[in-house]
């Protein structure tokens, strides 16, 4: 499966469980291991645990293997390694403290690059509005 499809599936799973402030970083040029880092925020310890459980279940359904996982006893930070993609899920305070976005900020990708428009939804065209 292409990496972009994997990213799309991971984004869907995180969005389904209401992860906050999801960001994607293209680290291909700086990493020999991963193509992308995905960072998201959980609102609480139970939310962190719920995100992990849902991610584990759903990604297995899609046939993704988790090569490494560090749940940190579900305190404040979870790391999941999907091969080309490394997913970090933080609680808010831990994410602010470590600020790993600052290390990769210039490598941030736009989420819409990985999202596909829903069927039946048309883009508004400025010319159509004038008619």
Each domain of the chain, given as residue ranges in start order, spans: 3-130
**pTM, full prediction:** 0.78
Tens digit of each residue's pLDDT (9 = 90 or more) over 11-48: 999 999 999 999 999 888 888 889 899 999 999 999 99
The CATH label, of 1.20.1420.30, 3.40.50.300, 3.40.470.10, 3.30.460.10, for the domain at 3-130 is 3.30.460.10
What is the rounded CA–CA span in Å between residue 3 and residue 49? 25
pLDDT at site 131: 40
Q: Helix, strand, coil shares of the chain as percentages rounded to 5?
A: 45, 25, 35
pLDDT above 60: residue 129: no
pLDDT at site 29: 85
% of the chain surpassing 90 pLDDT: 49
């Amino acid at each position: 499966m292409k990496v972009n499809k994997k990213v799309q599936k991971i984004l869907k799973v995180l969005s389904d469980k209401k992860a906050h402030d999801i960001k994607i970083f293209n680290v291909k040029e700086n990493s020999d291991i991963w193509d992308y880092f995905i960072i998201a925020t959980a609102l609480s310890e139970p939310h962190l645990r719920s995100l992990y459980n849902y991610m584990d279940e759903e990604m297995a359904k899609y046939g993704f293997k988790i090569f490494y996982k560090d749940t940190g006893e579900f305190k404040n930070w979870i790391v999941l390694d999907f091969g080309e993609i490394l997913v970090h899920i933080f609680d808010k305070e831990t994410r602010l403290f470590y600020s790993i976005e600052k290390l990769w900020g210039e490598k941030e990708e736009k989420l819409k690059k990985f999202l596909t428009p829903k069927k039946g939804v048309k883009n508004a065209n400025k010319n159509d509005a004038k008619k």
